[in-house]
Amino acid sequence: MCVLFTPELIRELPKSDLHVHLDGSMREETLIEMAQKRGVKLPAETPEELRKTVFKARYRSLEEYLRGFAYTCAVLQDSDALERTAYELCVDCQEEGVRYVEIRFAPQLHTGEDRTILTVLSAVARGIERAERAFNSRPGVASGSEPPFHAGIIVCALRFFTPESSHTYAQMFRAFADLPERELFGLASKALVRASIRARDEYGLPVVGVDLAGQEHGYPAKDHVRAYQLAQEAFLGKTVHAGEDYGPESIFQAITECHADRIGHGTWLFNVDQIRDLRIVDRQAYVRRLVQYIADRRITVEVCLTSNLQTIPALRSLQDHPFKKMREARLSATFCTDNRLVSRTTVSREVELAVRAFNLGVKDLGDLLIYGFKRAFFPGPYLEKRAYVRQVIDYHDKVFARHGVEVNPNRNPAP
């Protein structure tokens, strides 16, 4: 690592995390405690053993990576557990210098006889509010010398599910038994977006955006066009997991069919071999134009380095990651954790990895960190967001100065 970027400096710099899953980011100790209370059988009873058996440094496949979610989802089936997990995630972010986070999760996976999507979202919002209130009452924040901590909720629709996935989905399969499967998936997403809008507008919950997650191959984003159109009309932020498990045309579909403001992962953006559409004859030209399209519109890529290395066998090292090409193309990109527990990482660790692997300079790193704040689906008025970003930039420069690092006073990353 460049000697300028010490772990202490990286930790102190204000950071964001725009792509982090609630159920993939529990504390190990909390998971064990909740499992004991709910009678959920875990394959290990200590954090150390869980790291050996479930939450590993490397995984053999995406299937193995996803195995841990069965345990976390199983314990997150009551409001107290959801509120506590959201609170602890915010605190863990705060302790490593993350000042803005968008927590994404699928509330429909946590519903039950006594829990609706609204009550699930309310529980997570309470955890966020408690963490914000405690952090923002600190003297440095209260005086305005440090930027406050803010958080929002991104609601995840799923490309694929079964009746066994949750109480909500079981009800939908019963109510629409004659509906083709893919139409049902789209209908479920629309109902979820509608509930999310109500949570924001009628109950004041910090729902800032929608996401689409799950298997890309065979379950295209266009099945969820109506849901995303509803989100567009309600002025919700829109992000889509795309280019993680399918080719560049999946990214194009997310942007054009679903109006995506950001792309989750985008790992195969530059890979012409991943293009499946036979109508695309000149693959190199297609990718070149797609990259230009993304750059022109400042569509931000939520880069998850560690997670990608763990789930994509073709990426043998960070040097193989397309982030290098994203930088060369001057794309708007920001570092995210994806899952702090499952990937055993933090934003600070992601930054350290990137600094070493891609030889980032002071301006490079500064711009990348600021992108995360600028492209956030901030839960407040635009003028308030502008003032917040300005405060973050000023504090960012103060941190560099305290560590004896000269910054460019004219630095102003693209919007």
Tokens standing for residue 135? 């952090």
96 noted as active-site residue: no
53 occurs within a structural domain: no
- 140: exposed, middle or buried (C-beta count within 10 Å: 0-12, 13-18, 19+)? exposed
Inter-residue contact 154 to 208 (CB < 8 Å):
yes
**What integer pLDDT is reported at residue 415 of this predicted model?**
54
pLDDT in tens, 69-112: 999 999 999 999 999 999 999 999 999 999 999 999 999 999 99
Instruction: Give CA separation, 368 vs 182, 333, 374, in Å.
Output: 37, 6, 10
Inter-residue contact 251 to 259 (CB < 8 Å):
no
pLDDT in tens, 315-326: 889 999 999 999
Distance (Å, whole) CA 258 – CA 323? 24
pLDDT range class, residue 414, cuts 50, 70, 90: low
**What integer pLDDT is reported at residue 407 of this predicted model?**
79
Dihedral of the alpha carbons of 153, 157, 158, 159, in degrees to the nearest 10 = -130
Distance (Å, whole) CA 47 – CA 42? 11
267 occurs within a structural domain: yes
Q: How many domains does the chain have?
A: 1
**What integer pLDDT is reported at residue 2 of this predicted model?**
47
Residues near 26 by beta carbon (within 8 Å), at least 6 away in sequence: 72, 75, 76, 85, 88, 89, 341
Q: Determine phi and psi for 364, rounding to 5 degrees.
A: -55, -55
pLDDT range class, residue 215, cuts 50, 70, 90: confident
CATH number of the domain residue 283 falls in: 3.20.20.140
50 occurs within a structural domain: no
Q: Is the pLDDT of residue 409 over 70?
A: no
Domain hosting residue 122, numbered range: 7-26+76-402
Distance (Å, whole) CA 263 – CA 239? 6
The dihedral sign for the CA sequence 323, 7, 410, 93: positive
12 occurs within a structural domain: yes
64 occurs within a structural domain: no
Inter-residue contact 317 to 286 (CB < 8 Å):
no
Q: Where are the beta strands (DSSP E) in 159-199?
A: none
Inter-residue contact 376 to 385 (CB < 8 Å):
yes
Q: Determine phi and psi for 180, rounding to 5 degrees.
A: -55, 145
Is pLDDT larger for residue 139 or for residue 63? 139
Q: Is the pLDDT of residue 1 over 70?
A: no
Q: Which residues pair with 335 in a beta bridge?
A: 303
**What integer pLDDT is reported at residue 314 of this predicted model?**
84
Query: Strand, helix or coil at 300?
Result: strand
17 occurs within a structural domain: yes
Residues near 333 by beta carbon (within 8 Å), at least 6 away in sequence: 300, 301, 302, 303, 323, 326, 327, 368, 371
Mean pLDDT of 20-33: 98
Q: Is the pLDDT of residue 410 over 70?
A: no
Q: Which of 28, 102, 216, 244 is catalytic?
A: 244
Query: Strand, helix or coil at 410?
Result: coil
52 occurs within a structural domain: no
Percent of the chain with pLDDT over 70: 97
Inter-residue contact 237 to 154 (CB < 8 Å):
yes
Mean pLDDT of 326-351: 97
pLDDT range class, residue 127, cuts 50, 70, 90: very high
Closest to 216 measured CA to CA, from 179, 173, 180, 254: 254
Inter-residue contact 68 to 24 (CB < 8 Å):
yes
pLDDT range class, residue 4, cuts 50, 70, 90: confident
Mean pLDDT of 138-162: 96
43 occurs within a structural domain: no
Instruction: Give CA separation, 47 vs 24, 53, 146, 310, 337, in Å.
Output: 15, 10, 34, 20, 20
Distance (Å, whole) CA 174 – CA 254? 29
The dihedral sign for the CA sequence 383, 135, 237, 335: positive
